[in-house]
Amino acid sequence: MSADRLESLVTFHPFTRLNTLLEGIAPGGGNTPLLLHLGEPQFAPPAFVAEEIAKAAAGWSKYPPTAGNAAFRAAVKGWLERRYHLPTTMLNADKEILPVSGTREALFQIALSAVAAGAPKGKAKVLMGNPFYHSYAGAAAVAGGEPAFLPADRNSNFLPDLAKLSAADLDQAALVYLCSPANPQGAVAPLDYLKQWLLLARRHDFVLAADECYAEIYPDAPPPGALEAARELGGAVDHLLVFHSLSKRSSAPGLRSGFIAGDAKLIARQAQLVNYGGVATPLPILAAAIRLWSDEAHVAENRARYRRSFALAQEILGPIFGEIRPQGGFFLWLDVGDGERAAVELWRQAAVKVLPGGYMARAEANGENPGARYIRVALILEPDEMAAALRRMAPVLEDLMHGKAAKTAAGGR
């Protein structure tokens, strides 16, 4: 990787940019600072997590196997079958499921193998929606690939517009990242849309990396998944990997535990990357993960918290912005006119840290950054705490929006 690429990874990391933006600005209003820029749930995970880790403590003295153990793979297979209505014969637990030490690492590593496999065939592009989760672009750069940003704005329901994809781009693609529910916008990909992407992956020979880490946080119907698309297309999982995590589903980001499932060849390739330089999941963590993937009660409780927080957000901020509840995930994606200015004023006046949306996007061909107008707000506190934070934010945002309206009326931009 060139020095320029390395420098861009440092310069364009969204949280590095946010720290620079707010440097020297004191959090104001006499308030305790609230950090809503990071998607880190602040709810306590189920008490049985600590119990399962303690019971499996003997495992700390062993190097963990890369493939985990049969009990973990069986628990994941059972969950996938229940959640996505898969036939029991569709997935091979031993060859098509792999534990990962957090899905961020796995999403990053998939680019290393996909670009390495694709480059000799003239396939080095890594496609992703714009805006996007920052690890996608970082992974593409480190892998020596070419990040390609697909517009995903309000006009396309915040999902990449398939009609605007060229055959040339698809032929040159080694990897496509597809996130549903989307981070940051909360858009949910319909099943037919997922089927179209999987068919394209097979036709043009690229890896479809379906990031489904927010799949268990939704207001009404559960979002469809890419494995459902594979089931509808006959049950084969070639060219497909799905990524799931306990960080969001179970409010356990500190466990660093998730899994990938799909194409056996891609799973084997990922396992070899872990063998060479990755981190296998420790056995006591696997024990807790088995219990978490087997339990739905705590997930329903988490979902109820988020529903309550989104209802409060709609009540408090709805008068300013209109309908703001997403289809899934736990972020608000608010059009404030100028995301950087809003982030500065929320920190300066209310001691609330949010992420400017432009930091999760790149400028498009017309020179405009599709996230620049937005801020991302993570609803990761208990509902009562979240309501207090939103009430703290509301007057600042209302003043900003009134200023925006006045500027527009005066002929400004």
* Protein fold of 3-44+298-409: Aspartate Aminotransferase, domain 1 (3.90.1150)
Q: Which of 292, 310, 295 is nearest to 254 (CA)?
A: 292
Contact 173, 202 (CB under 8 A): no
Contact 374, 336 (CB under 8 A): yes
State the greatest distance between any 2 C-alpha atoms of the chain, in Å, as a whole number.
70
Rounded to an integer, the average pLDDT of 54-78 is 97
Q: Which of 186, 171, 190, 179 is nearest to 232 (CA)?
A: 190
User: Global pTM?
Assistant: 0.94
Q: Which of 403, 409, 405, 333 is nearest to 374 (CA)?
A: 333
Q: What is the pLDDT of residue 2?
A: 56
Alpha helices in 60-152 (DSSP H): 70-84, 103-118, 134-143
**Contact partners, residue 221, CB within 8 Å, separation at least 6:** none
Contact 246, 41 (CB under 8 A): no
List, in sequence order, every beta strand (DSSP E) within 165-308: 173-179, 207-211, 240-245, 258-262
CA distance 352 to 383: 16
Which residues in the chain are classed under CATH 3.90.1150.10?
3-44+298-409
pLDDT bin (cut points 50, 70, 90) of residue 4 is low
Q: Which of 324, 320, 338, 321 is nearest to 407 (CA)?
A: 338
Q: Which of 240, 138, 121 is nearest to 172 (CA)?
A: 121
List, in sequence order, every beta strand (DSSP E) within 336-407: 352-353, 355-356, 374-378
CA distance 197 to 210: 10
Rounded to an integer, the average pLDDT of 92-105 is 96
Q: Which residue has the higher pLDDT, 4 or 254?
A: 254
Beta bridge partners of 377: 332
Q: What is the pLDDT of residue 164?
A: 87
Q: What is the pLDDT of residue 386?
A: 97
CA distance 14 to 275: 30
* Protein fold of 48-294: Aspartate Aminotransferase; domain 2 (3.40.640)
Q: What is the pLDDT of residue 240?
A: 98
Query: Does the structure show a pLDDT above 70 at 11?
Result: no
Lowest mean pLDDT among 198-202, 279-283, 400-404: 400-404
Which residues in the chain are classed under CATH 3.40.640.10?
48-294
CA distance 140 to 114: 10
Q: Quick one: tokens of 224?
A: 């469809």
Q: Which of 273, 270, 219, 280 is nearest to 243 (CA)?
A: 270
Contact 247, 258 (CB under 8 A): yes
In this prediction, what percent of the chain has a pLDDT beyond 70?
A: 95
334-388 pLDDT tens trace: 999 999 999 999 999 999 999 999 999 999 989 999 999 999 999 999 999 999 9
**Mean pLDDT for all residues in the chain:** 94
Query: Does the structure show a pLDDT above 80 at 113?
Result: yes
Q: What is the pLDDT of residue 412?
A: 38
40-64 pLDDT tens trace: 999 999 999 999 999 999 999 999 9
Q: Quick one: tokens of 57?
A: 């403590």
- Calculate the alpha carbon distances from 262 to 48, 96, 255, 403 in Å: 29, 5, 23, 50
Q: Which residue has the higher pLDDT, 413 or 373?
A: 373
Which strands form 125-130's sheet, in the order they lie side by side?
Answer: 97-100, 258-262, 240-245, 207-211, 173-179, 125-130, 146-151
